[in-house]
Amino acid sequence: MEDSSFITIFLAGDVMTGRGIDQALPCPGDPALHQSNGRDAVEYFKLAQNANGPIRSPIGFSYIWGDAIEAIEINKPDLKIVNLETSITRSNNYVKDKAIHYRMNPGNISCLTAAGFNICTLANNHLLDFGYEGLTETLGSLKTANINFTGAGCSKHEAELPAVWNAPGKGRVIVYSFCLATSGVPLSWRAEKIKPGVNLLTELSDEVMQRISRNVKSIKQTYDIVIASIHWGSNWGYDIPDEQRRFAHALIDEAGVDIIHGHSSHHPRPMEVYKDKLIIYGTGDLINDFEGLKGRKKSGIAWRKFKNPWKLWRLNGHKKFRSDLVVIFFAAIDPSTGKLLNLRLTPMQIKKFRLNYPSRQDAQWLRKKLNRVNKKFNLKLEPEHQSFSDSTDKSLFLTRL
């Protein structure tokens, strides 16, 4: 990837560094939870150890990214984009009508800079878990850390502003962040003229498309790559609603968007290459604290302390989706056309709150699963070389059937 004629973009899904992961980091915040299946975030840390063995804490800020650091060094992306699905705040003013809340202590923000993330998209269903106070502190923390963001702000105008990244000698990457109520975002979180909030689309209508198109065309120049990062849909399943697909196509046809970066599902969803433009309907999570919720063990102090431990078993019904297996997408884009030149996927496995290269068996399972769901879009993933099990070769390439 030494060719300077294209821009390589790191795309990944939800970064959920709150709760158990926050407790394992050097500056753990208040562990109090306000959910029916647990009252103490420390228990998520204990459950992870119960499932996969001891985690030496406090972990370093770069620890959670593990082998992903090597993948970044190999692929040398010009830009790294993730969806930050965690409020960065010390606030205790949680939203009382929400079932789950994610919060990371601002003292742990170095875990984001350790991975070198350039842009965080913020339009999602956890950013305002701790209200406007939490939102303000989140935005301030990101600014202090020099991490660009988009999708939320102190007004509708700020929430709609894109993040713009300059790749010297190549062009610009312009990132818009949107969310839909289908991902669990309360309608009351929508930013208004003088009201803080997120960039929430209440519908996928022609009127909304025209507004997005005007915004994109007002800023897009030659050699600009425009990304629409969208938090939409349910947490589980591989079906893509027709409405999502039509909207993704319209973003490309009418608004001049070059990449659709979808997320919300806890596992990767299908991809599509439409008119040589990349659409990822669901990137899946990048990091979460779910590994202790597999229900492998019913005993142990961590399990017993939960107020209603049986509710933790709800994730068991979704074990078939393997949310521990995640994917990093490295997309090479021609800035003169916005077209996809190639797409490299690097599978990872979350274990002990760390991204690790998966075993050959797990990597093959993921490839086969994604090939089944991508077949209807005439896409297939192939190992870069036959030595896919080697530590020096852990990538898959997207090909057309």
Confidence of residue 294 (pLDDT cuts 50, 70, 90): low
CA 139/CA 153 separation, integer angstroms = 8
Question: Tens digits of per-residue pLDDT, 54-109?
Answer: 999 999 999 999 999 999 999 999 999 999 999 999 999 999 989 999 999 999 99
Domain ranges for the chain: 7-400
Phi, psi of 384 (to 5 degrees): -60, -40
Query: Is the predicted pLDDT of residue 115 greater than 80, yes or no?
Result: yes
Predicted local confidence at residue 300, as pLDDT: 40
What average pLDDT score do residues 318-341 get? Answer: 93
Average pLDDT over residues 353-379: 95
Confidence of residue 311 (pLDDT cuts 50, 70, 90): very low
Q: Which of 98, 95, 77 is nearest to 9 (CA)?
A: 77
Q: Which of 175, 170, 165, 167 is nearest to 336 (CA)?
A: 170
**What pLDDT, on a 0 to 100 scale, did the predictor assign at position 385?**
67
> What residues contact residue 298 under an 8 Å CB cut-off, 6+ apart?
309
Query: How would you classify the pairing of strands 325-334 and 277-280?
Result: unpaired
Reported pTM: 0.93
The CATH code of the domain at 7-400 is: 3.60.21.10
Q: What is the pLDDT of residue 221?
A: 96
pLDDT at position 298 over 60: no
The model's pLDDT over 130-149, given as tens digits with 9 standing for 90+, comes to: 999 999 999 999 999 999 99
pLDDT tier at 320, thresholds 50, 70, 90: confident
CA-CA distance, 263 to 84, in Å (whole number)? 11
- Give the CA-trace dihedral at 88, 85, 60, 140, to 10 degrees: -30
For residues 196-202, average pLDDT:
97
Q: What percent of the chain has pLDDT over 70?
A: 90
At residue 167, the 3 state secondary structure works out as strand
Q: Which residue has the higher pLDDT, 39 or 209?
A: 209
Angle (deg, nearest 10), helices 206-219 and 242-253? 30
